[in-house]
């Protein structure tokens, strides 16, 4: 397929009303520095082509540097021509061009996502790779006021809180969206006045896609019958919701500092009595903030999962859990609501004498040292993090792992076996600690419930000739 002619050789003067507004918005909102290196996400559609044209003009007035990134989602037969079109645009403007192809349909099937969600996730991941390849500081996308209005209405129809109604953020991390004040009509008029060429994506007319039905059928009907300025109204609603959302996030940050009794890279423990002093809305923001601190800035859990997790505040069943996603769970402990990484029962590491073994997901490491034993020493000593066992009683290799259902051992001083689960319960070990309290074992059984008790079968006696010194030491 032939590529459309990009631009005529001589252009009329730019419609300065839109460019001037764009330039003012960039300065006013401090979206980037005058020396910034920016990667423009250009699909070849009219929005991104206009964005490119605006930034090319801006670059003649400032010291910003531009690179172009293009993602081929391989969803249409014409997608390869889109890539050629964008590459030709870059050649015309003498701009660095970076591109990547992603397998959207395959990813959607593997992750059980809609095509739209899969494309979005892959697009942002690929753009970040292109940003790094270009050495750029920021990624710019061409979302418009019309995109904002559609997003807000779509989320309203599906059910959303403040975070959802806040719509598309002008800046999130390294991504900026400077066209959010311009409608699709503004963009089209600018493109026509500037005699720009662009690619049309026929899939945007597919009414089987919900957003397209909203764009082509529902939004025009609502605008003609109820509010001719519907897009501006919905965008204003988004701004108001975002201001409230930002305020609630600040409130949650202060509240979290008051209700969190433990904060580590693996878990955040919220004091149940303290958190109950706040209202339900603050509860959800505190939980979202805890989630973000543990896994970083990613898509939030669904509102339904957040609600289920918050219901644990009033759950009398100790040990109840709710999966949040991203490898996190919320646990109802005796006096705390625990947001933590779910422990994996697959963690097993062989232990070499004299070699420190980091215990995954904890700040601890295990050191086992082989030492001679003086029979004159008193055998029945040890401490929480330092124990001795008789080397001769160890069979096979030593391994460290997480506890498993049905584990038993003979706590020091006892002649009958006890389930590790029952030992924890009798010792009033918080539930949040149980799954991540490692056990040291050999072929004949558990040697040490680390940090608590050794097994009686491996204790030092009057006939002991050599010992293994077991130590839990905090990593530096």
Question: What mean pLDDT is predicted for residues 57-65?
Answer: 94
| DSSP designation for 101 | E
Task: Kindly state whether residue 169 falls inside one of the protein's structural domains.
Answer: no
Q: Are residues 363 and 337 in the same domain?
A: no
When pLDDT is cut at 50, 70 and 90, the band that residue 8 belongs to is: very low
Task: Kindly state whether residue 160 falls inside one of the protein's structural domains.
Answer: no
Q: Are residues 187 and 327 in the same domain?
A: no
Whole domain around residue 373: which residue ranges? Answer: 348-474
Q: Are residues 87 and 56 in the same domain?
A: yes
Question: What mean pLDDT is predicted for residues 133-146?
Answer: 97
Task: Kindly state whether residue 460 falls inside one of the protein's structural domains.
Answer: yes
Query: CA-CA distance, 230 to 304, in Å (whole number)?
Result: 29
pLDDT(3) > 50: no
Q: End of a domain among 341, 369, 404?
A: 341
pLDDT computed for residue 317 by the predictor: 84
Q: Give yes or no for a contact between 44 and 70, defined as CB atoms under 8 angstroms apart.
A: yes
When pLDDT is cut at 50, 70 and 90, the band that residue 12 belongs to is: very low
Q: Each residue of 377-428: pLDDT tens digit?
A: 655 455 778 999 999 999 999 999 989 888 999 999 999 999 999 999 999 9
Q: Give yes or no for a contact between 456 and 414, defined as CB atoms under 8 angstroms apart.
A: yes
Q: Are residues 396 and 462 in the same domain?
A: yes
Task: Kindly state whether residue 462 falls inside one of the protein's structural domains.
Answer: yes
pLDDT computed for residue 5 by the predictor: 38
Q: Are residues 56 and 199 in the same domain?
A: yes
pLDDT(2) > 50: no
- Burial zone of 158 (CB within 10 Å; 0-12 exposed, 13-18 middle, 19+ buried): exposed
Number of structural domains (the chain) is 3
Q: Are residues 320 and 419 in the same domain?
A: no
Provide the 3-class DSSP secondary structure of residue 116.
helix
For residue 41, give the nearest of 171, 142, 122, 146 by alpha carbon. Answer: 142
What is the value of pTM for the model shown? 0.72
Q: Are residues 121 and 190 in the same domain?
A: yes
Question: Which parts of 194-331 fold into alpha helices (H)?
Answer: 210-213, 219-225, 230-259, 272-275, 280-295, 303-310
Task: Kindly state whether residue 451 falls inside one of the protein's structural domains.
Answer: yes
pLDDT computed for residue 346 by the predictor: 58
When pLDDT is cut at 50, 70 and 90, the band that residue 316 belongs to is: confident
Q: Are residues 358 and 219 in the same domain?
A: no
Q: Are residues 24 and 108 in the same domain?
A: yes
Q: Are residues 364 and 298 in the same domain?
A: no
For residue 343, give the nearest of 262, 401, 281, 274 by alpha carbon. Answer: 401
Q: End of a domain among 308, 341, 374?
A: 341
For residue 168, give the nearest of 184, 151, 185, 156 by alpha carbon. Answer: 151
Higher pLDDT, 411 or 2: 411
307: domain CATH number is: 3.30.465.60
Q: Are residues 336 and 401 in the same domain?
A: no
Hey, how many other C-beta atoms are within 10 angstroms of the C-beta on 173? 12
């Amino acid at each position: 397929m032939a590529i459309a002619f990009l631009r005529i050789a001589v252009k009329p003067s730019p419609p300065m009303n839109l460019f001037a507004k764009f330039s003012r918005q960039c300065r006013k909102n401090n979206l980037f520095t005058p020396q910034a290196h920016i990667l423009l996400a250009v699909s070849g559609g009219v929005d991104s082509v206009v964005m490119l044209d605006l930034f090319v003009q801006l670059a003649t007035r400032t010291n910003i540097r531009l690179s172009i990134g293009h993602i081929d989602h391989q969803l249409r037969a014409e997608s390869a021509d889109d890539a050629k079109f964008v590459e030709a645009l870059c050649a015309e403007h003498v701009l660095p061009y970076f591109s990547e192809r992603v397998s959207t349909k395959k990813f959607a099937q593997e992750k059980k996502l809609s095509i739209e969600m899969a494309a979005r996730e892959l697009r942002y991941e690929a753009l970040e790779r292109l940003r790094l390849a270009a050495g750029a500081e920021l990624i710019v996308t061409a979302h418009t006021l019309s995109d904002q209005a559609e997003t807000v209405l779509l989320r309203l129809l599906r059910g959303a809180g403040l975070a959802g109604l806040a719509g598309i953020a002008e800046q999130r991390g390294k991504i900026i969206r400077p066209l959010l004040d311009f409608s699709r009509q503004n963009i089209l008029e600018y493109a026509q006045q500037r005699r720009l060429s662009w690619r049309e994506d026929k899939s945007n007319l597919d009414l089987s896609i919900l957003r397209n039905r909203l764009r082509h059928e529902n939004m025009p009907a609502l605008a003609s019958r109820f509010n001719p300025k519907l897009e501006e109204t919905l965008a204003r609603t988004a701004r108001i919701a975002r201001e409230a959302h930002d305020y609630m996030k600040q409130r949650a940050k202060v509240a979290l500092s008051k209700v969190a009794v433990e904060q580590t890279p693996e878990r955040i423990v919220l004091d149940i009595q303290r958190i109950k002093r706040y209202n339900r809305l603050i509860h959800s923001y505190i939980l979202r903030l805890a989630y973000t601190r543990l896994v970083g800035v990613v898509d939030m859990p669904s509102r339904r999962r957040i609600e289920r997790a918050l219901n644990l505040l009033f759950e009398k069943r100790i040990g109840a859990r709710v999966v949040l996603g991203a490898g996190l769970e919320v646990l109802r402990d005796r006096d705390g609501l625990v947001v933590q990484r779910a422990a994996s029962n697959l963690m097993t590491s062989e232990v070499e004498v004299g070699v420190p073994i980091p215990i995954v997901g904890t700040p601890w490491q295990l050191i086992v040292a082989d030492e001679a034993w003086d029979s004159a020493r008193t055998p029945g000593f040890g401490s929480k993090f330092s124990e001795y066992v008789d080397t001769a009683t160890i069979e096979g290799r030593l391994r460290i792992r997480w506890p498993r259902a049905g584990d038993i051992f003979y706590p020091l001083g006892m002649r009958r076996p006890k389930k590790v689960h029952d030992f924890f319960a009798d010792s009033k070990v918080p539930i949040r600690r149980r799954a991540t309290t490692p056990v040291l074992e050999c072929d004949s059984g558990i040697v040490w419930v680390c940090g608590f008790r050794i097994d009686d079968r491996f204790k030092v006696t009057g006939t002991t000739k050599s010992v293994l010194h077991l130590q839990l030491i905090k990593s530096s």
